[in-house]
Protein backbone atom coordinates (compact mmCIF):
# COMPACT_ATOMS: atom_id res chain seq x y z
CA UNK A 1 0.00 0.00 0.00
CA UNK A 2 1.72 3.24 -1.06
CA UNK A 3 1.71 5.91 1.61
CA UNK A 4 0.93 9.19 -0.06
CA UNK A 5 -0.37 11.11 2.93
CA UNK A 6 2.15 13.07 5.03
CA UNK A 7 3.48 10.93 7.87
CA UNK A 8 3.53 12.40 11.37
CA UNK A 9 5.32 10.97 14.38
CA UNK A 10 3.65 11.83 17.69
CA UNK A 11 5.89 11.46 20.75
CA UNK A 12 3.68 11.81 23.81
CA UNK A 13 3.42 9.78 27.02
CA UNK A 14 0.02 11.13 28.14
CA UNK A 15 -2.50 8.62 26.76
CA UNK A 16 -5.40 11.06 26.69
CA UNK A 17 -3.53 13.72 24.74
CA UNK A 18 -2.02 11.06 22.49
CA UNK A 19 -5.47 9.77 21.59
CA UNK A 20 -6.80 13.26 20.88
CA UNK A 21 -3.85 13.97 18.61
CA UNK A 22 -4.14 10.63 16.87
CA UNK A 23 -7.84 11.11 16.16
CA UNK A 24 -7.50 14.72 15.01
CA UNK A 25 -4.49 14.08 12.77
CA UNK A 26 -5.99 10.98 11.19
CA UNK A 27 -9.27 12.76 10.62
CA UNK A 28 -7.24 15.42 8.79
CA UNK A 29 -5.87 12.73 6.51
CA UNK A 30 -2.37 12.32 7.89
CA UNK A 31 -0.64 9.04 8.51
CA UNK A 32 0.23 8.88 12.20
CA UNK A 33 2.70 6.85 14.20
CA UNK A 34 2.96 7.20 17.98
CA UNK A 35 5.81 6.79 20.45
CA UNK A 36 5.46 6.96 24.23
CA UNK A 37 9.12 7.42 25.16
CA UNK A 38 12.42 8.76 23.84
CA UNK A 39 13.60 5.22 23.25
CA UNK A 40 10.61 4.26 21.09
CA UNK A 41 10.87 7.62 19.27
CA UNK A 42 14.51 6.95 18.37
CA UNK A 43 13.46 3.58 17.02
CA UNK A 44 10.56 5.08 15.03
CA UNK A 45 12.88 7.75 13.61
CA UNK A 46 14.79 5.10 11.70
CA UNK A 47 11.94 5.51 9.25
CA UNK A 48 11.08 8.67 7.33
CA UNK A 49 8.47 11.06 8.67
CA UNK A 50 7.34 14.45 7.43
CA UNK A 51 6.89 16.02 10.85
CA UNK A 52 7.33 15.20 14.52
CA UNK A 53 5.12 16.40 17.40
CA UNK A 54 7.36 16.15 20.45
CA UNK A 55 6.41 16.26 24.11
CA UNK A 56 9.27 17.32 26.40
CA UNK A 57 8.52 15.58 29.69
CA UNK A 58 8.89 11.92 28.77
CA UNK A 59 9.31 8.97 31.13
CA UNK A 60 12.90 8.28 30.04
CA UNK A 61 14.17 11.81 29.55
CA UNK A 62 13.77 15.23 27.99
CA UNK A 63 12.45 15.70 24.46
CA UNK A 64 14.87 18.59 24.01
CA UNK A 65 17.75 16.09 24.03
CA UNK A 66 16.15 14.19 21.14
CA UNK A 67 15.63 17.43 19.25
CA UNK A 68 19.26 18.45 19.79
CA UNK A 69 20.53 15.01 18.76
CA UNK A 70 18.53 15.01 15.51
CA UNK A 71 19.84 18.44 14.52
CA UNK A 72 23.39 17.34 15.41
CA UNK A 73 22.87 14.48 12.92
CA UNK A 74 21.79 17.02 10.34
CA UNK A 75 18.21 15.83 10.15
CA UNK A 76 15.87 18.57 8.99
CA UNK A 77 12.63 16.88 9.99
CA UNK A 78 10.19 19.63 11.09
CA UNK A 79 9.71 19.44 14.86
CA UNK A 80 6.81 20.95 16.75
CA UNK A 81 7.32 20.90 20.51
CA UNK A 82 4.26 20.25 22.60
CA UNK A 83 4.63 20.90 26.27
CA UNK A 84 3.23 22.21 29.52
CA UNK A 85 6.39 24.26 30.08
CA UNK A 86 5.34 27.74 29.16
CA UNK A 87 7.99 30.00 30.70
CA UNK A 88 9.42 32.24 27.94
CA UNK A 89 13.00 31.03 28.50
CA UNK A 90 11.77 27.46 28.09
CA UNK A 91 10.29 28.32 24.71
CA UNK A 92 13.54 29.97 23.66
CA UNK A 93 15.47 26.88 24.74
CA UNK A 94 13.24 24.69 22.61
CA UNK A 95 13.73 26.85 19.55
CA UNK A 96 17.46 27.13 20.28
CA UNK A 97 17.97 23.38 20.08
CA UNK A 98 16.34 23.32 16.66
CA UNK A 99 12.59 22.96 17.09
CA UNK A 100 10.55 24.74 14.41
CA UNK A 101 7.60 25.69 16.55
CA UNK A 102 6.28 25.45 20.08
CA UNK A 103 2.75 24.83 21.36
CA UNK A 104 1.87 25.04 25.03
CA UNK A 105 -0.61 22.66 26.64
CA UNK A 106 -3.50 22.80 27.00
CA UNK A 107 -3.73 23.65 23.31
CA UNK A 108 -6.57 24.37 20.94
CA UNK A 109 -6.69 21.54 18.37
CA UNK A 110 -7.59 23.69 15.32
CA UNK A 111 -4.62 25.94 16.10
CA UNK A 112 -2.31 22.97 16.43
CA UNK A 113 -3.53 21.57 13.08
CA UNK A 114 -2.97 24.97 11.45
CA UNK A 115 0.61 25.00 12.74
CA UNK A 116 1.14 21.47 11.42
CA UNK A 117 -0.04 22.57 7.97
CA UNK A 118 2.22 25.62 8.08
CA UNK A 119 5.28 23.57 9.01
CA UNK A 120 4.61 20.98 6.30
CA UNK A 121 4.13 23.72 3.73
CA UNK A 122 7.28 25.49 4.84
CA UNK A 123 9.17 22.22 4.54
CA UNK A 124 8.03 22.03 0.91
CA UNK A 125 5.82 19.08 1.52
CA UNK A 126 2.16 19.04 0.74
CA UNK A 127 0.02 20.84 3.30
CA UNK A 128 -2.37 17.96 3.26
CA UNK A 129 -3.40 15.16 1.00
CA UNK A 130 -4.85 16.45 -2.26
CA UNK A 131 -7.78 15.24 -4.36
CA UNK A 132 -8.04 11.52 -5.00
CA UNK A 133 -9.63 9.63 -7.86
CA UNK A 134 -10.42 6.00 -8.66
CA UNK A 135 -12.23 5.33 -11.92
CA UNK A 136 -14.91 7.99 -12.20
CA UNK A 137 -15.08 8.46 -8.43
CA UNK A 138 -13.33 11.47 -6.95
CA UNK A 139 -13.09 13.31 -3.64
CA UNK A 140 -11.41 16.59 -2.74
CA UNK A 141 -10.50 17.02 0.94
CA UNK A 142 -9.85 20.77 0.50
CA UNK A 143 -13.32 21.68 -0.72
CA UNK A 144 -14.89 18.74 1.18
CA UNK A 145 -16.70 17.53 -1.92
CA UNK A 146 -16.93 14.21 -3.72
CA UNK A 147 -18.70 12.87 -6.73
CA UNK A 148 -18.70 10.64 -9.78
CA UNK A 149 -17.85 12.07 -13.17
CA UNK A 150 -19.61 15.43 -13.44
CA UNK A 151 -21.99 14.65 -10.59
CA UNK A 152 -21.30 16.00 -7.07
CA UNK A 153 -22.76 13.97 -4.20
CA UNK A 154 -24.85 15.40 -1.41
CA UNK A 155 -23.40 13.70 1.61
CA UNK A 156 -22.78 14.00 5.33
CA UNK A 157 -19.27 14.83 6.61
CA UNK A 158 -18.87 11.26 7.84
CA UNK A 159 -19.91 9.75 4.52
CA UNK A 160 -17.32 11.97 2.86
CA UNK A 161 -14.66 10.90 5.39
CA UNK A 162 -15.44 7.25 4.73
CA UNK A 163 -15.31 7.69 0.97
CA UNK A 164 -12.02 9.62 1.24
CA UNK A 165 -10.59 6.85 3.38
CA UNK A 166 -11.55 4.18 0.84
CA UNK A 167 -10.16 6.25 -2.02
CA UNK A 168 -6.85 6.71 -0.23
CA UNK A 169 -6.50 2.97 0.41
CA UNK A 170 -7.83 1.21 -2.69
CA UNK A 171 -7.56 -2.53 -3.05
CA UNK A 172 -7.20 -3.15 0.65
CA UNK A 173 -9.89 -4.88 2.72
CA UNK A 174 -10.84 -3.28 6.04
CA UNK A 175 -12.78 -4.75 8.93
CA UNK A 176 -15.67 -2.79 10.41
CA UNK A 177 -13.64 -2.24 13.59
CA UNK A 178 -10.71 -0.87 11.59
CA UNK A 179 -13.02 1.49 9.75
CA UNK A 180 -14.61 2.63 13.02
CA UNK A 181 -11.16 3.29 14.42
CA UNK A 182 -9.69 5.03 11.37
CA UNK A 183 -12.70 7.00 10.14
CA UNK A 184 -14.82 7.59 13.24
CA UNK A 185 -11.84 7.80 15.58
CA UNK A 186 -10.87 5.69 18.56
CA UNK A 187 -12.89 7.90 20.92
CA UNK A 188 -16.08 7.03 19.05
CA UNK A 189 -18.03 4.38 20.88
CA UNK A 190 -19.78 3.10 17.81
CA UNK A 191 -21.25 -0.10 16.57
CA UNK A 192 -20.28 -2.13 13.55
CA UNK A 193 -23.66 -1.67 11.94
CA UNK A 194 -22.91 2.07 11.83
CA UNK A 195 -20.31 1.14 9.21
CA UNK A 196 -22.80 -1.01 7.31
CA UNK A 197 -25.38 1.75 7.17
CA UNK A 198 -22.80 4.26 5.90
CA UNK A 199 -21.56 1.81 3.27
CA UNK A 200 -25.16 1.26 2.17
CA UNK A 201 -25.64 5.02 1.71
CA UNK A 202 -22.31 5.38 -0.11
CA UNK A 203 -23.23 2.54 -2.46
CA UNK A 204 -26.52 4.24 -3.27
CA UNK A 205 -24.45 7.21 -4.47
CA UNK A 206 -21.45 5.59 -6.14
CA UNK A 207 -22.75 2.38 -7.67
CA UNK A 208 -24.74 2.05 -10.88
CA UNK A 209 -26.39 -1.01 -9.34
CA UNK A 210 -26.12 -1.07 -5.53
CA UNK A 211 -27.07 -4.76 -5.47
CA UNK A 212 -24.01 -5.56 -7.60
CA UNK A 213 -21.34 -3.13 -6.36
CA UNK A 214 -18.30 -2.49 -8.55
CA UNK A 215 -16.66 0.13 -6.34
CA UNK A 216 -17.27 -0.74 -2.69
CA UNK A 217 -16.98 -4.49 -2.51
CA UNK A 218 -17.99 -6.75 0.37
CA UNK A 219 -15.13 -9.02 1.41
CA UNK A 220 -16.82 -11.97 3.06
CA UNK A 221 -15.60 -12.64 6.58
CA UNK A 222 -13.59 -9.39 6.61
CA UNK A 223 -15.47 -6.23 5.73
CA UNK A 224 -15.21 -3.84 2.81
CA UNK A 225 -12.77 -2.90 0.09
CA UNK A 226 -12.73 -0.21 -2.57
CA UNK A 227 -11.84 -1.82 -5.87
CA UNK A 228 -8.67 -0.55 -7.53
CA UNK A 229 -10.11 -1.29 -10.96
CA UNK A 230 -13.85 -0.72 -10.80
CA1 LIG B 1 4.68 14.26 29.13
CATH number of the CATH domain containing 98: 3.40.50.2300
Domain count, the chain: 2
Dump pLDDT digits (tens) for 157-189.
899 989 998 998 888 888 998 898 888 876 666
Q: Is the pLDDT of residue 45 over 70?
A: yes
* 85, 148: one domain: no
26 Cα to the center of ligand 1, angstroms = 21
Q: What residues sit around ligand 1, an ion, with C-beta below 5 angstroms?
A: 13, 55, 57
- Asked if residue 1 is part of any domain, the answer here is no
State residue 64's pLDDT score: 92
* 93, 188: one domain: no
- Asked if residue 162 is part of any domain, the answer here is yes
* 185, 207: one domain: yes
* 139, 63: one domain: no
* 154, 118: one domain: no
Q: Taking a C-beta distance cutoff of 8 angstroms, is the pair 194, 179 a contact? A: no
Q: What b/e sequence results for 151-190 when a residue is b if at least 16 CB atoms lie within 10 Å of its CB, and e otherwise?
A: eebebeeebbbbbbbbbbbbeebbebebbbbbbbbeeeee
119 Cα to the center of ligand 1, angstroms = 22
State residue 128's pLDDT score: 54
State residue 2's pLDDT score: 39
State residue 95's pLDDT score: 78
State residue 72's pLDDT score: 83
12 Cα to the center of ligand 1, angstroms = 6
- Asked if residue 127 is part of any domain, the answer here is no
Q: Taking a C-beta distance cutoff of 8 angstroms, is the pair 138, 132 a contact? A: yes
Model confidence at 48, pLDDT cuts 50, 70, 90, reads: confident
Question: Which position has the higher pLDDT, 2 or 179?
Answer: 179
- Asked if residue 147 is part of any domain, the answer here is yes
- Asked if residue 38 is part of any domain, the answer here is yes
Q: Taking a C-beta distance cutoff of 8 angstroms, is the pair 161, 139 a contact? A: no
Domain end call among 75, 90, 122: 122
Proportion of the chain above pLDDT 90, given as a percent: 53
Cβ contacts of 90 within 8 Å, gap of 6 or more: 83
* 154, 212: one domain: yes
d(C-alpha 41, C-alpha 70), whole Å: 11
Model confidence at 3, pLDDT cuts 50, 70, 90, reads: very low
Domain end call among 97, 122, 147: 122
Q: Taking a C-beta distance cutoff of 8 angstroms, is the pair 77, 52 a contact? A: yes
223 Cα to the center of ligand 1, angstroms = 37
- Asked if residue 80 is part of any domain, the answer here is yes
- Residue 198 structural domain: 132-226
Average pLDDT, the chain: 88
Q: How many residues make up the chain in this entry?
A: 230
d(C-alpha 136, C-alpha 230), whole Å: 9
* 69, 141: one domain: no
Neighbour-count burial of 78, counting CB atoms closer than 10 A to its CB (0-12 exposed, 13-18 middle, 19+ buried): buried
102 Cα to the center of ligand 1, angstroms = 14
* 48, 85: one domain: yes
CATH label of the domain that carries residue 207? 1.10.10.10
Model confidence at 1, pLDDT cuts 50, 70, 90, reads: very low
State residue 157's pLDDT score: 87
| DSSP label of 4 | -
Q: Taking a C-beta distance cutoff of 8 angstroms, is the pair 56, 63 a contact? A: yes
Using alpha carbons, list the distances in angstroms from residue 95 to 33, 68, 101, 113: 23, 10, 7, 19
* 104, 145: one domain: no
Three-class DSSP category at 69: helix
* 35, 84: one domain: yes
Question: Which position has the higher pLDDT, 119 or 74?
Answer: 119
* 115, 151: one domain: no
**What are 113's strand-pairing partners?**
none
56 Cα to the center of ligand 1, angstroms = 6
* 181, 203: one domain: yes
d(C-alpha 141, C-alpha 30), whole Å: 12
d(C-alpha 204, C-alpha 188), whole Å: 25
Dump pLDDT digits (tens) for 76-114.
899 999 988 777 777 777 777 888 888 988 899 989 999
State residue 147's pLDDT score: 96
Domain end call among 78, 99, 122: 122
Dump pLDDT digits (tens) for 5-24.
889 999 999 999 999 999 99
Q: Taking a C-beta distance cutoff of 8 angstroms, is the pair 62, 41 a contact? A: no
Amino acid sequence: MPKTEPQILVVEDDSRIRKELLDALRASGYGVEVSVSLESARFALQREHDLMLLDLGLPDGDGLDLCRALRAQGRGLPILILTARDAPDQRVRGLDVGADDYVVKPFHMPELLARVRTLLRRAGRSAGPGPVRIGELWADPESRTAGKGDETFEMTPRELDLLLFFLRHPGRAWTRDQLLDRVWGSTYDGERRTVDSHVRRLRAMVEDDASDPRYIETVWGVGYRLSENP
